[in-house]
Structure 1
Amino acid sequence: MPQNPEKIQDHVELFHQPEYKELFERKREFEKGHSQEEIDRVAEWTKSWEYREKNFARETLTVNPAKGCQPLGAIYAAAGFEGTLPFVQGSQGCVAYFRTHLTRHFKEPFSAVSSSMTEDAAVFGGLNNMIDGLTNAYSLYKPKMIAVSTTCMAEVIGDDLGAFIGNAKNAGAIPEDFPVPFAHTPSFVGSHITGYDNMLKSILANLSEGKKGKSNGKINLIPGFDTYVGNLREIKRIAELMGVDYTLLADNSDYVDSPNDGHFNMYQKGTKLEDAADACNAKATISLQKHSTLKTCDFINKTWKQEVTLSSPWGIRGTDEFLMQLSELSGKPIPAELEEERGRAVDAMTDSHAWLHGKRFAIYGDPDLVYGVTSFLMELGAEPVHILVHNSSKEFEKDMQGLLDSTEYGKGGTIWGGKDLWHMRSLLFTEPVDFMIGNSYGKYLERDTKIPLIRIGYPIMDRHNLHRYSTIGYQGTINLLTWVVNAIFEEIDRNTNIPSKTDISFDLIR
């Protein structure tokens, strides 16, 4: 029978229909699964300290890692430059994952092409795929630059991107002077922030080659792997308020948040290629994410001979430090408008701090985000307990421990580097907290442990528009405060919603 399009069931309701319930029951019988009593017994045991010890003893299995792979970060960095087409030397399936992952977070189409490597390329190498892919990409999509990264397949067989691109130019696939920066980004090491760093360094090195000259007096600002569009716009707003002449490197704010004006534009603004090329002549560079720009900052310092400073403008203290750095490097004063914004942020924190002071929290995500959010929450007297960073490093853990040691509120915090969200589950059951912070994958932890999740980080796929807000600067401070304190209130309301039993007082004002 033909389907009525007005009665098509959403998947949430669809799988509750009688035929699906019957199907699931038959599947359980066919698989001769354990009884519900045994399932419940084992599930309860997994909440114990005994199971936690076994869980943390595993070495060769990862369950729900809190990270993505290198090429995802590489294509995100590439999309921050004018007219740039991300090109991945690998299979179509891998690239479809990267595009889909970013599209589901931003609710925006994300363009990236693949060399479509298959079994024959795995045996004989991907040179022909590279030549054909660059030819088609250049002629069909007419980019100003193509940024090439790799997947596991290309890395395992040892494809030499530099040689391949040179051969493609010799074969006439693309013009000899056409910019094709490349980065080797194997998914089996590092994470998406490593891929971001590798690609950003490659793009800047490619564009600036031979361009070193006299200083242009500008300040380079690097956002890092930041998926909050509002943050990139906040950085530009602050610099413009201060009258700073700047270049924002890898500006993908319009690419992943473009207006719906009835016209498709494959390349939405981004850092101009000539500005990126001239970045080598800037007065100084400020990176707003240390751990996602390590190689890039080292390159800028050693090759461009430029002063590089690091800043984490989260909360009041972090934003104060960033503005003072920017003022010192540029010679521009901090305007009264920003001082007023600071006062409003402090006032908001004063209003809300009593509800957050002493609250225990868990957090997971990328190193720079975890550091920034934890710093902000400790300003309010909240106490970190579990700090889980899958794509951790010794340098990050040293920085994080220094932050924890800087205040009495951090003394109970433990850093869990290299651990995954199944480890976090054991931590939450054995040492519960008041709330946790992380991306959408934590919703299953929330359902299991009944600990409220506040969605901050990447990816956020099950809520809309959060990526459009800022989380840094004084305005970002108010946004973060609003999300966290209102989540606390919502949890209080959930726990006091039974008349005459849990709502023993009429509490309308908080």
Structure 2
Amino acid sequence: MAQNNVNDIQDHARLFHQDEYQELFKAKKEFEGGHSSEEVAKIADWTKSWEYREKNFAREALTVNPAKACQPLGAILAAVGFEATLPFVHGSQGCVAYFRSHFTRHFKEPFSAVSSSMTEDAAVFGGQLNMIEGLATSYNLYKPKMIAVCTTCMAEVIGDDLQAFISNAKAANSVPQTFPVPYAHTPSFVGSHITGYDNMIKGILSNLTAGKKQETTNGKINFIPGFETYIGNLREIKRYADLMDVNYTLLADNSEYLDSPNTGEYQMYPGGTKLEDAADSINAEATIAFQSYATTKTREYIETEWSQKTYVSRPVGIRGTDEFLMKLSALTGKPIPKELEEERGRAVDALTDSQAWLHGKRIALYGDPDLVIGLVQFLLEVGAEPIHIVVSNSNANFEGELRALLDSSPFGQNATIWGGKDLWHLRSLLFTEPVDLLIGNSYGKYLWRDTKTPLVRIGYPIFDRHHLHRYSTYGYQGAINLLNWIVNTLLDELDRNTIIPSKTDISYDLIR
């Protein structure tokens, strides 16, 4: 085969078009007794119909490509936001390998996490020995300051008790008695990655802050990002707080870990919230969470156990950013600086420049609850019309909040919220009720291919484009970024549709 010629190494996109591979594919199809091309095309056309849509939406026992991941994924993202913290997944090695590769593909950075490597014997007799040996190995080999433990399906199905296992591991001198080993039970068969994030943040804070409550506050504001995969958002929040001279603690600051500089010197644990700062967060003036549904249990814990006020603020678009800055100013007494007023003006100017291209455009979008609310808020600001909104990890509170937002604008009146549905449901929606634009993560490229609906990649994961995670979607600059991605996707599509000389190029214009 040509691939064996070192002077002519083929890219995989071209390699499998070579004759020998095409012959293999043909033989494979014949061996499997596959249907004819005509029959495949006939069924494919039927799946675009209203008849198929009704059957598709009637299914109950099958999920096809849900727009969510499992709890441990969120738990380990929360863990690496703290100083020198090693995520420890109590379960099989395959699970943690999947989580690590998922983050590495998105962030293009190495992601460290270990496993208790449970196998068949542990599934029968329990994983306590795996925990005892695993914590000892992790502590001695990787030298962390904290090990954060979560679970997978196997450990949860057999009922492993993390609190007891960690206590027994410390009694066996796997780690020192005073060494912090917070934990969270994160069964993959319920909830989603945002549930796992919430569970782990609560577990870490309850561990680090135990016995640290003081009579007076430390004068700080706590920020909790939520399951945040745009590193630019964390840096934008810190920049805003610094410009306003606000004393703050960003709880789970993974911006350096997931976007560390290449200096030629390896660091296993770059950045992260200092453990002593996290421990002192119990004494803050207030806590602001930037995602509601990824911090539900954590905020309840903070209000109940710490007697500390919590707020939710989504600084997306002009309105969302205004509300965040005014809330921060009200809590701290700090004025909003002129520099941010000027940034606001530039964002408003940019939206004004592009609004005519977005007004009335029909949009389908999918993603996590808080991401979707922020995007819908932005779309309504520019006069776009959300039509299909798919949220696989939905709940009643989220749908009520989103419905109220949609009802507050004339541009939201035609929207339908499809809670608990998946991307195969969305495919039926796009064929039967077409829209102008689709917004979502990389998995939407299959919908783009099938339905020819142009895709704007916003969300997590983004595997097939580079560096989008380095930008912000928060703040006034984030509004410009969102505008840039959305309006230029529409203009790219307009160019593609007017590109044929002497046929469609009457409006193939250099001025858009």
Asked if TM exceeds 0.5, the reply is: yes
Candidates 333, 338, 341, aligned match of 2:343: 341
Report the Cα distance in structure 2 between the residues aligned to 1:505 and 1:98, rounded to whole angstroms: 47
Residue 362 of structure 1: how far off its partner (Å): 0.2
Corresponding residue for residue 45 of structure 2: 44
Candidates 227, 232, 235, aligned match of 1:233: 235
Corresponding residue for residue 132 of structure 2: 131
Residue 506 of structure 1: how far off its partner (Å): 5.2
Give unmatched runs, 5+ long, in structure 1: none
Report the Cα distance in structure 2 between the residues aligned to 1:31 and 1:405, rounded to whole angstroms: 52
Corresponding residue for residue 400 of structure 2: 398
Report the Cα distance in structure 1 between the residues aligned to 2:86 and 2:325, rounded to whole angstroms: 34
Residue 10 of structure 1: how far off its partner (Å): 2.1
Report the Cα distance in structure 2 between the residues aligned to 1:437 and 1:6, rounded to whole angstroms: 41
Candidates 243, 246, 271, aligned match of 1:244: 246
Say which SS state the counterpart of residue 194 (structure 1) adopts: helix
Corresponding residue for residue 160 of structure 1: 161
Cα deviations by residue, 1:374-428 (Å, 9 ceiling, x for unpaired): 1101100000000000011111101110110110100000000110000000000
Contact 2:384 2:411 survives alignment (8 Å): yes
Contact 2:498 2:507 survives alignment (8 Å): no
Report the Cα distance in structure 1 between the residues aligned to 2:6 and 2:78, rounded to whole angstroms: 40
Report the Cα distance in structure 2 between the residues aligned to 1:75 and 1:51, rounded to whole angstroms: 39
Corresponding residue for residue 358 of structure 1: 360
Counterpart amino acid of residue 435 in structure 1? L
Counterpart amino acid of residue 290 in structure 1? S
Candidates 497, 500, 505, aligned match of 1:498: 500
Contact 2:287 2:311 survives alignment (8 Å): yes
Counterpart amino acid of residue 160 in structure 1? D
Say which SS state the counterpart of residue 326 (structure 1) adopts: helix
The alignment status of 1:469 with 2:447, answered yes or no, reads no
Corresponding residue for residue 151 of structure 2: 150
Candidates 295, 313, 316, aligned match of 2:315: 313
Cα deviations by residue, 1:31-79 (Å, 9 ceiling, x for unpaired): 1111111111100000000000000000010101110100000000000
Report the Cα distance in structure 2 between the residues aligned to 1:284 and 1:178, rounded to whole angstroms: 28
Corresponding residue for residue 489 of structure 1: 491
- Residues 351 and 76 (structure 1), Cα distance of their counterparts in 2 relative to 1, 3 Å cut: same
Cα deviations by residue, 1:282-308 (Å, 9 ceiling, x for unpaired): 000100100100001111111110011
Residue 3 of structure 1: how far off its partner (Å): 3.8
Report the Cα distance in structure 2 between the residues aligned to 1:170 and 1:468, rounded to whole angstroms: 43
Say which SS state the counterpart of residue 505 (structure 2) adopts: coil
Candidates 448, 451, 460, aligned match of 1:449: 451
Cα deviations by residue, 1:188-216 (Å, 9 ceiling, x for unpaired): 00000000000000000100000000200
The alignment status of 1:100 with 2:101, answered yes or no, reads yes
Give unmatched runs, 5+ long, in structure 2: none
Report the Cα distance in structure 2 between the residues aligned to 1:5 and 1:171, rounded to whole angstroms: 54
Say which SS state the counterpart of residue 447 (structure 1) adopts: helix
Say which SS state the counterpart of residue 184 (structure 2) adopts: coil
Cα deviations by residue, 1:165-206 (Å, 9 ceiling, x for unpaired): 000000000000000000000000000000000000000010
Contact 2:498 2:508 survives alignment (8 Å): no
Corresponding residue for residue 53 of structure 1: 54
Report the Cα distance in structure 1 between the residues aligned to 2:422 and 2:65, rounded to whole angstroms: 6
The 5 Å alignment of 1:266-415 reads 266-415=268-417
Contact 2:75 2:200 survives alignment (8 Å): yes
- Say what the alpha-carbon RMSD is for the aligned residues: 0.9
The 5 Å alignment of 1:83-98 reads 83-98=84-99
Say which SS state the counterpart of residue 320 (structure 2) adopts: helix
Which deviates more from structure 2 when the two are superposed, residues 179-188 or residues 3-12?
Answer: 3-12
Residue 5 of structure 1: how far off its partner (Å): 4.1
Report the Cα distance in structure 1 between the residues aligned to 2:18 and 2:122, rounded to whole angstroms: 45
Cα deviations by residue, 1:436-458 (Å, 9 ceiling, x for unpaired): 00000000100000000000000
Report the Cα distance in structure 2 between the residues aligned to 1:8 and 1:299, rounded to whole angstroms: 57
Report the Cα distance in structure 2 between the residues aligned to 1:180 and 1:135, rounded to whole angstroms: 12
Report the Cα distance in structure 1 between the residues aligned to 2:417 and 2:322, rounded to whole angstroms: 26
Counterpart amino acid of residue 204 in structure 2? I
Corresponding residue for residue 65 of structure 2: 64
Corresponding residue for residue 182 of structure 1: 183
Report the Cα distance in structure 2 between the residues aligned to 1:395 and 1:18, rounded to whole angstroms: 55
Report the Cα distance in structure 1 between the residues aligned to 2:506 and 2:378, rounded to whole angstroms: 34
Report the Cα distance in structure 1 between the residues aligned to 2:4 and 2:52, rounded to whole angstroms: 49
TM-score normalized by structure 1? Answer: 0.99
Candidates 437, 461, 480, aligned match of 1:435: 437
Counterpart amino acid of residue 367 in structure 1? P
Residue 6 of structure 1: how far off its partner (Å): 4.6
Counterpart amino acid of residue 312 in structure 1? R
The alignment status of 1:140 with 2:141, answered yes or no, reads yes
- Residues 167 and 477 (structure 1), Cα distance of their counterparts in 2 relative to 1, 3 Å cut: same
Report the Cα distance in structure 1 between the residues aligned to 2:282 and 2:288, rounded to whole angstroms: 13
Residue 346 of structure 1: how far off its partner (Å): 0.1
Say which SS state the counterpart of residue 439 (structure 2) adopts: strand
Report the Cα distance in structure 1 between the residues aligned to 2:97 and 2:379, rounded to whole angstroms: 37
Report the Cα distance in structure 2 between the residues aligned to 1:64 and 1:336, rounded to whole angstroms: 46
Counterpart amino acid of residue 335 in structure 1? P
Residue 9 of structure 1: how far off its partner (Å): 2.0
Residue 17 of structure 1: how far off its partner (Å): 1.3
Say which SS state the counterpart of residue 394 (structure 2) adopts: coil
Corresponding residue for residue 15 of structure 1: 16
Say which SS state the counterpart of residue 198 (structure 1) adopts: helix
Say which SS state the counterpart of residue 418 (structure 2) adopts: strand
Contact 2:76 2:87 survives alignment (8 Å): yes
